[in-house]
Structure 1
Amino acid sequence: MVESLRRCRDIVALSAALAGCSEALLLAGSMSYGRFFSVRQQRPGLRPSDVDVVVVVRDRDELPSAVSRLASVDFLEVVGYPSTAELERAVGAAGEGRAVDLMVVTSRKPQGDRMCADWGSPGRYDVSAHICSVADLRRLVLPFGAGAEDVAMTVRALPVTARGAGKLRDERWTSLSGSSVSREVRRIRTGELHADLRTPFRSGSDGMYLGRFVRSLLPRLEVLHSSPAVIAVLRECADQLNAMLGVVGGRGPLSPHESLHPHRRDFSPYVRNVCRGAPGFSVTASEVVTRRMPRQASGREVPCGPPPVPRSGVLDGTESGGG
């Protein structure tokens, strides 16, 4: 409970900090599908749950602005934010033929975190942000055929101990029909940054494949704040997923939302029930910012900040409930 509350508080602060320089902030990972259930603190042999977000900016020229805004958040700690010149050099290496996302991994400072005062010392956890433009988001979330998928590049700052330039791995993708394709992921170095390049698929097997960001954003495509342009991209993604799956309610023991997700056992009971009762995939206004969160032991409510756009808290005709 407390670990989820800590992260909810920080997500609200991130949404406020990024509101002026981003088109959207999307919530991914365990804080979307498992808050107040499977979000964990540091344990022996286990890393604490991250906060995973996708920051969407208008175009690639605004990537440095989003990075600067993250650097200004006082409770985050990171070594070596990339400079504007480094980013421009790395993004330029991608060209227009690749979808580009910038990955920035920060750490939540434990100092000054009073929420855990009654439970001992608070632990660190990572805050991982993928930053991309609206156009690149569309290429990273929409389903694709193997012959039409855009190759992609992830830019990141890595410690000097990280693996250097060269082949990283082979990446295999399996379609919903069971066919598979593979491609090579290679790392190049551009100044102080690393770029992981995904090459074209080696074969053109029939089938449709999920966009690279989709499994991170499923099951609910959860929006903290957004412009209409990003909502339109997410709705297009949901519509195509529904068409691919022929989604109908009440089919089988697992909902389509669960069947596509590798961590479905970590879904909170609330998210599982919402998925099983939903007629299909849709875009969801996050409860983290649209509703008041539970009270702390002190009796004070955790501030939740402004609601996302649109302000109704209802997207695609689906009302968001309490998480």
Structure 2
Amino acid sequence: MSNTKQIPRRGTLARAESRQALGFVSPALAGLALFTVVPVVLSIVMGFFNWPTFGEKTFVGLDNYVKLFTQSPDFWPALRNTFVFALLYVPISVGLSLLLAISLSARIRGRGMLRVLFFIPVVTPMVANVLVWKMMLQPQGLFNGLSQTWFGVELPNFLADPQWAMIMVVMMSVWQGLGYNMLIFSAALEQLPESVVEAARIDGARGFRMLWSVTLPMISPSLFFASIMTMITALQVFVQPQLLTGGGPGNATQPLVQFIYNQGFKFQELGLAAAAAWILFAIIIILTALQFRAQKKWVHYEH
């Protein structure tokens, strides 16, 4: 009899715990629904409408997408700038972070402090970093002043020159995010099995051969993660060109996210902005899927 009486009690207790758990997570679920799910669904709907900020909304079907590809003069340059930025930023950022992590993996004094110094820009507000760089890159800024003082050479106006503006945006972005990937690679390097490293040394692996044949394959999961996250970040770049160059000169540094921002908040074309946002989402999904497919050939996981 005692056993049969415990069954409903356990069921009642489980239901009570479920209600308590739901109560604890309900604020987070409400926030997720209000600030993520609803805006995502609304953006899908907006992409099929002529949706001005004020005024009548008109259903236009796929016209917004057609207009972006055939009639918008700034869409293709913005898409090109996004890919140019990503193609420059991703390999430079990942490569320099890896080189820095390998250099700091040596038993040198103060390497912990050096890691902190390189990580500071990551946790510093992006806007503050960009504004400091903008002041240094101005014709009256630090870089030009030092160049004239030390070498007697006047530097070009980097932010107003179409040939230099994108390079400056990439340089600032690399400096901003260098420490994040550095810490990921540093953690991976410190987890290398000492037995495998010693075995490779006994077999004669040294220098580049050790790096290429032992170190990189063993930290390839970290390389893959860093590459994916850096690519996604690069494709969504906005603050750096917005504050450094305003997308200029002309539209030489305007990426796709800035194009979306301008369409939605400057020209009040919310439907067009939503359509461009979903095109960017599709690009990120496709490139990420391709990287996941390609990682089977070069990423080595421990089983």
TM-score range, shorter chain: under 0.3
TM value normalised by structure 1? 0.24
TM value normalised by structure 2? 0.25
Q: Larger strand proportion, structure 1 or 2?
A: 1
* Structure with the larger RCO, 1 or 2 (CA within 8 Å, 6+ apart): 2
Q: Larger helix proportion, structure 1 or 2?
A: 2
